[in-house]
Amino acid sequence: MPGDSSLVAVITGASSGIGAALARRLGRDGFRLVLAARRADALQQVCMDCGTGCKALVVDVTHRDDVERLRDAAIAAFGHVDVWVNNVGRGINVPVLELTEEQFDQMMAVNVKSALYGMQAVVPHFQERGQGHVINVSSFLGRVPIATYRSAYNAAKAALNALTANLRMDL
């Protein structure tokens, strides 16, 4: 795969952390990239680090229409998508008994619904092409909640793991 300039990857949460590091690596390996995040300046910097085969798109992946726009922009730019990385994530430090409804909903929207929207947007494209890879970035805490103060984050990543396993079985 490395060096094959026909490979196209979409990475959400690409403005920093794991997403930015992955984008830079895949850019060095010759992938064409569509990077997505909310922070335009940081996202544009990562895209510049990845070379000429990179497009940056400011999106909020907690909104289904933004995710569909991301998919459509990637296909319009490069003709297809080979790899879709649902990397967006956010955590908060709040124990179970102190969680508000708003905090819990936000953790589910950012860590689960965004990936669900990504899977639902891109998998039909993969099925049509007969190939493609979805990568959902999770956390050890989704399987072993040893940091109880990360309660909603742990729960969200456990839900993401379950959705991922179910999609794998469905496909």
pLDDT for res 5: 55
Q: Which residues are catalytic?
A: 153
Q: What's the chain's average pLDDT?
A: 95
Q: Which residue has the tokens 């879709």?
A: 84
- Domain residue extents for the chain: 8-170
> Residue 17 is encoded by which pair of tokens?
């952390």
Q: Which pLDDT tens digit goes with each residue over 123-166?
A: 999 999 999 999 999 998 888 878 899 999 999 999 999 999 99
CATH number attached to the domain at 8-170? 3.40.50.720
Helices (H), the chain: 17-28, 40-49, 64-78, 101-108, 114-129, 151-170
Sign of CA dihedral 121, 124, 128, 133: positive
Partners of residue 35 on adjacent β-strands:
11, 56
Triad 94, 96, 100: Cα angle to 5°: 70
pLDDT along the chain (171 residues), means of 10: 70 97 96 97 97 95 98 98 97 95 97 98 98 96 87 94 97 95
User: pTM for this one?
Assistant: 0.94
pLDDT value, residue 121: 98
